[in-house]
Amino acid sequence: MRTTWKVLAAALAALGAGMPAQASEELLLRLLGPPARGSEARVSYAAQWRPERRAEGAAHGGAVEVLTQRAALLSAAPLGAEAEGSVALGLRHHGLRGEARLPKANVPLPDHLWDPTLGAAYRRFLALGRWTGLAAVVNSPSDRPFHSAREVSVSATALYRAPRGERAAWLFFLRYDNTREFWNHIPLPGLAYWARPTPRSMVVLGVPYSSVRWAGESGWGASLSYALLRTLGAEANYRFSGALQAYAGFHMDSESHFRARRDHREDRLWYYEKRVQAGVRLDPSPRWSLELAGGHAFDRYYFEGKDFEDRTRDRVPVADGPFLRAGGSLRF
């Protein structure tokens, strides 16, 4: 089970920006992972720097340099013999430098974009490897967090796990989100089939998330992950020893924030990018790990609008460029 937890954690991490998981992702891991043996906690931090690059198009002017920092804390503990509780805290900050402007709104990109997050999860263990769980997260991705109710995001996920033998299970989801890219405020069902064909491989096939991960006896490994609507991660890696691993991959993802002084309530400031990257991970002990990576980001752009269909409405394309990232985590 512990091997399964590590494989699942790595697969979900491949979906994101290569940074420590935010509170919502940490809590989903708790819903899917093995029961906590006792009180445990994990803290993580990472920084990613994208050097200054011009904002393309004469109408936009200026350039953009971005320093992103993320920190997260997850604490989990048994609640008696048949239940478990978890609490997660997260903070993400983008520091933007430059004079690029949103052309239609005629305002500069915010100097600071924040995303403070608070979440909690509860699981109830049933007979024969079944369990139910519920996770809820409140966050405020904005240049002025919690400025008003319009800058608050709320999501909740309910899960039921039904095992199919020792190496497989059906996962049934119901998720509410007031800031997804489509059908806000409507609870949407999800279904996935989880299987572990071998101790070194895992398959999750379903909606809204699918993943395939494999690790060979020779040290080579690979993963492929996809989440609706436009999040993709693919990676190949090689483990030189028990502690050192090198990897290379491709990622496509996005994020969004609410400008407090936006003209329309449902508009968000979106950022999309694709990137190729390579790096090394060092796990000298089960308690802590370090990571150093770099790569090339392309097809980068900001826009303000309700969803992806508005990507040409108030758009700031940013020139391709390199990035560097470093981070680590500690368990105790």
List per-residue pLDDT tens for the chain, 332 residues long: 444 444 444 444 433 334 445 667 778 777 887 888 889 899 999 999 999 999 875 455 588 999 999 999 999 999 988 999 999 999 999 999 988 889 888 899 999 999 999 999 999 999 988 999 999 999 999 999 999 999 999 999 999 999 998 889 999 999 998 887 777 788 999 999 999 998 889 999 998 889 999 998 889 999 999 988 889 999 999 999 778 999 999 999 999 999 999 988 889 999 999 999 999 999 988 899 999 999 999 999 999 999 889 998 899 999 999 999 999 999 98
Give the per-residue pLDDT at 81.
86
Are 299 and 273 in contact, with CB atoms under 8 Å apart?
A: yes
Q: How many CA atoms lie within 13 A of 203 on its CB side?
A: 8
pTM passes above 0.85: yes
Q: For residue 330, is the peptide bond before it cis, meaning its omega torsion is within 30 degrees of 0?
A: no
Q: Rounded to the nearest 10 degrees, how much is the dihedral formed by the CA atoms of 3, 13, 297, 257?
A: 180
Are 259 and 269 in contact, with CB atoms under 8 Å apart?
A: yes
Query: DSSP of 188-240, one letter per residue?
Result: EEEEEEEE-SSTTEEEEEEESEEEEEEE-TTSEEEEEEEETTTEEEEEEEEES
- Neighbouring CB atoms inside 10 A of 279's CB total 19
Helix (H) or strand (E) holding 28: helix 23-32
Are 295 and 277 in contact, with CB atoms under 8 Å apart?
A: yes
Are 96 and 123 in contact, with CB atoms under 8 Å apart?
A: no
- Neighbouring CB atoms inside 10 A of 17's CB total 22
